[in-house]
Amino acid sequence: MRKILKLSFLPVLASAVIAFQPATSAHAEDGPTVKKVKERGQVLCGVHQGRYGFAIADSKGKWKGLDVDYCKAVAAAVLGDASKVKYLPMGSVQRFPALQSGEIDMLSRTTTVTLTRDSALGLNFGPPTFYTGTGFMVRKSIGATKVDDLKGAAVCVFPGSTTEKNIAALFASKGMDYKPVVIESSKQLVGAYMSGRCDVLSMDQAGLPGHKQFDAKNPDEHEILPGVFSKEPLGIGVRAGDDQWFDIIKWVTHVTFNAEEWGVTQANVDKMKAESKDINVQRLLGVKGDLGKKLGLSNDWAYNVIKQVGNYGEIYDRNWGPPLNLARGVNKLWTEGGLMYGFPMK
Amino acid sequence: MSDISKPEDQARTGGSFLYNQGFRSIAYQVLLGGVLAYLAWTLYANVNANLERQGIATGWDFLNTSSGFDIGESVIEYSAADTYGKALLAGILNTIRVALFGIFFATILGVFMGIARVSKNWLLSTLASWYVEICRNVPVVLHVIFWGTVIHLLPSPRKAMVPFEGAFIMNRGVVMPFPVYDPAYPWVGAAFVAAILGVVFLNKWAQRRREQTGQYISTLWAGLGILIGLPAAVWIAFGAPLVWDVPALRGFNFQGGLQLSPEFVALLIGITVYTAAFIAEIVRSGIQSVPSGQIEAARAVGLRPSFIMRYVTMPQALRVIIPPTASQYLSLTKNSSLGVLIGYPDLVNIGNTTLNQTGQAVEAIAIMMVVYLAISIVISTFMNVYNRLVAIKER
């Protein structure tokens, strides 16, 4: 409870921080963010308060999820140790002010990349680490099998999310009315749906299987409606104006894609480093070339990422394998017909 | 006095007006004002410079752009095609709505509990003190969350509870029949206002009559008659139009009638129950602050109990009750912002969404602060005027 309260004041705090920061910008050899991260010895990473597959704290308080793994990957690349991350769970509303004000270094929180967020919010976004879209979950008992059956339904949705706008546009285009029920706290929102306050729970479709599996008393009573109703490329957000930090985020993401494509895994990375004759792999793992130095990092940055966190396929399977069993779909590598496409690392 | 001190003053100030008291006090105020203005300006310039440096959009243009999100309940017509400005207005009206109802019910409940607490009836006073102690010692946040959770545990629309024909209580809120609008209703409303004025005049007349002749005229029944009779006469004159809009279950939800969302109901109950506990204590202390000698004296001159309450106890108790009650009204209004936790679309809820969709945190928060400030100032002005009316006048 106290957390919710504290968090709801964050936007206020954040604007106060913006108000009192001296209006100067420091440019050193290392970018300001890398400098701060190295001094601190920790990456401050904004994550979801609790969404299965993306970021959720287990019973021992250990964070798990795809978004969490990317926080770790960045820590491994910059500090050489994937465990040096401080996770700051964020609501949908306070995530951007927290990033803008410097309270977090990176926002890895199921955040859709949109033009407005990229421009007017003063942010930059790395390559998408996950593609999804707005999905709907309903109780089977209401007898709806497709979105067109949802006329007049009460829909539970997060405030300030792209989902909130997508639903408004979708229902308007179909000429259907609905009642939005908008709650920021993840627990309260899912609880409202489960208790029957809403007919429909709507969020990024990838978030739904987890709530169905773990939050429902009986998962079989619920159904995720077919179809994805928007484009939601989820990417890591950073403050605009720090090119080095942005580059690091961008290329750490490409490391995970490329490692999967080139068959470098957590298990075989040491062997690959010692034996691989592939020039791409040699450059990636810092055997040849100076890719790491160009980013202002050590040359084994990518090795650390793969060794400590793994390639994209491993990250995906770890978080979306059993019991969620979410098919990879468009999140496959481009070589297998998906959208994940690592840029050349040379 | 002043004639004597004047030459002395002039003598002390001498030629230098630096020692002039009037000049000094003005100079200090100018200095203080200047420092404040400088601080405000620095803050403003700093915010602007920082926002610009970070490439964050600023300005108020977003108020005129289409919001693209829907609001669950609104006093005014609102759709996703409307502007952020209108969305915020809908939020402001929702805040005012829950605050007004909250103040109304908290006052009634609080006064009742306060009087119950000084009652000689042991059961009543014990129950009232239990209520006060439990409710005011639990944080208001928990009250709101508690009622938000309780209301979600109510049955679904298909199994809704039916307290009386046409009304339903369920986890989608409370719905009940409501009269369909008829052109006669504004006239009935006007007649009701006229009746209130009539009762006020009647009381004034009866009081003057009593002061002049010593004869007591009870205005209770006559007053009630005017209050009910006049609007009723107007209503009948228009042909007694009355069509009930009875809610019915269509599709997923009830349509028609008066609909109160569960978020509104939960927030209203939460802040009402919490604030009423404080008002009860204020009323109790107000009543107990009247010296018992006053009441004994009133009895001694043979006033009847209802007169003692009305002409001796209440005028003195109100003096104690009004100012702290005003601050309870203010905190109730501000506490209504906790609706954001359970999803009531109040100003903070919509302000937060606006902030997130546009990224203009400084502007959105400034709007919220200014609106709460304005509402609070209106309430406290109103209460100050009322306080002046009931204050004991020195004659």
User: Mean pLDDT over residues A250-274, rounded?
Assistant: 96
| Among the partner residues B68, B171, B365, nearest to A169 by beta-carbon distance | B68
pLDDT the model gives residue B218: 80
Residues A7 and A108 in one domain: yes
Q: Which residue has the higher pLDDT, A92 or B43?
A: B43
pLDDT above 90 coverage of chain B, percent: 52
Residues A87 and A179 in one domain: no
b/e string for A44-78 if b means 16 or more Cβ within 10 A?
Answer: bbbbbbbbbbbbbbeeeeebbbbbbbbbbbbbbbb
Partners of A44 in beta bridges: A86
Classify residue B153 by burial, with Cβ atoms within 10 Å: 0-12, 13-18, 19+: exposed
Residues A226 and A314 in one domain: no
Residues A102 and A194 in one domain: no
Asked if B79 and A172 come within 8 Å (Cβ–Cβ), the reply is yes
Whether A342 is in a domain gets the answer no
d(CA B331, CA B372): 11
Q: Per-residue confidence at B55, pLDDT binned at 50, 70, 90?
A: confident
Chain B segment 72-101 residues within 8 A of A by beta carbon are 72-73, 79-81
d(CA B256, CA B16): 79
User: Mean pLDDT over residues A106-119, rounded?
Assistant: 93
Residues A297 and A282 in one domain: yes
pLDDT in tens, A44-98: 999 999 889 999 998 898 999 999 999 999 999 999 999 999 999 998 878 998 9
pLDDT the model gives residue A18: 52
Instruction: Give the range among A252-256, B23-27, B52-56, B185-189 with minimum mean pLDDT.
Output: B52-56
pLDDT in tens, B182-218: 888 889 999 999 999 999 999 889 888 888 888 877 8
pLDDT in tens, A137-159: 999 998 889 999 999 899 999 88
| Among the partner residues B43, B68, B250, nearest to A165 by beta-carbon distance | B68
Question: CA of A179 to nearest chain B CA: how many angstroms apart?
Answer: 5
- Return the residue in B56, B265, B367 with the most chain A beta carbons within 10 A, the one to mutate for interface testing: B56
Domain boundaries, chain B: 2-53, 84-180+243-390
pLDDT in tens, B243-282: 888 888 887 888 888 889 999 999 999 999 999 999 999 9
How far are the Cα atoms of A50, A317, B284 from residue A161, in angstroms, in the given order?
15, 26, 48
The chain-wide mean pLDDT, for chain B, equals 89
Question: CA of A42 to nearest chain B CA: how many angstroms apart?
Answer: 23
Asked if A19 and B43 come within 8 Å (Cβ–Cβ), the reply is yes
User: Mean pLDDT over residues B160-165, rounded?
Assistant: 86
Q: Point out the domain boundary residue: A230, A257, A273.
A: A230
pLDDT the model gives residue B25: 87
Residue B152 at interface with chain A, using a CB cutoff of 8 Å: yes
pLDDT in tens, A163-220: 999 999 999 999 998 999 999 888 889 999 999 999 999 999 999 999 999 999 999 9
Tokens 């009386």 map to which residue? B164
Is residue B358 left, alpha or beta, with left meaning phi > 0 and alpha meaning psi from -120 to 50?
A: alpha
On the question of pLDDT at A252 being above 60, the answer is yes
On the question of pLDDT at A3 being above 50, the answer is no
Residue B349 at interface with chain A, using a CB cutoff of 8 Å: yes
Residues A180 and A123 in one domain: no
pLDDT the model gives residue A15: 52
> In chain A, count of helices (H) and strands (E)?
15, 14
Instruction: Collect all residues of chain A within an 8 Å Cβ-Cβ radius of residue B43.
Output: 19
Q: Point out the domain boundary residue: A230, A251, A282.
A: A230
Whether A320 is in a domain gets the answer yes
Domain count of the fold of chain A: 2
Give yes or no for a contact between B125 and B132, defined as CB atoms under 8 angstroms apart. no
Asked if A182 and B349 come within 8 Å (Cβ–Cβ), the reply is yes
| Among the partner residues B152, B253, B357, nearest to A192 by beta-carbon distance | B152
Whether A343 is in a domain gets the answer no
pLDDT above 70 coverage of chain B, percent: 95
pLDDT the model gives residue A118: 92
Asked if A240 and B55 come within 8 Å (Cβ–Cβ), the reply is yes
Where helices occur in chain B by DSSP H, the ranges are 2-13, 21-53, 84-117, 122-136, 140-152, 184-213, 220-237, 262-288, 292-300, 305-307, 314-335, 339-342, 347-358, 361-390
Residues spanned by the domain of A306: 2-131+234-336
pLDDT the model gives residue B15: 58
Residue B206 at interface with chain A, using a CB cutoff of 8 Å: no
On the question of pLDDT at A26 being above 50, the answer is no
For the domain that residue A110 is a member of, what is the CATH number?
A: 3.40.190.10
| Among the partner residues A121, A195, A240, nearest to B152 by beta-carbon distance | A195
d(CA B180, CA B244): 6
On the question of pLDDT at B22 being above 80, the answer is yes
pLDDT the model gives residue B305: 85
Asked if A192 and B343 come within 8 Å (Cβ–Cβ), the reply is yes
Q: Any idea which architecture B84-180+243-390 has in CATH?
A: Orthogonal Bundle (1.10)
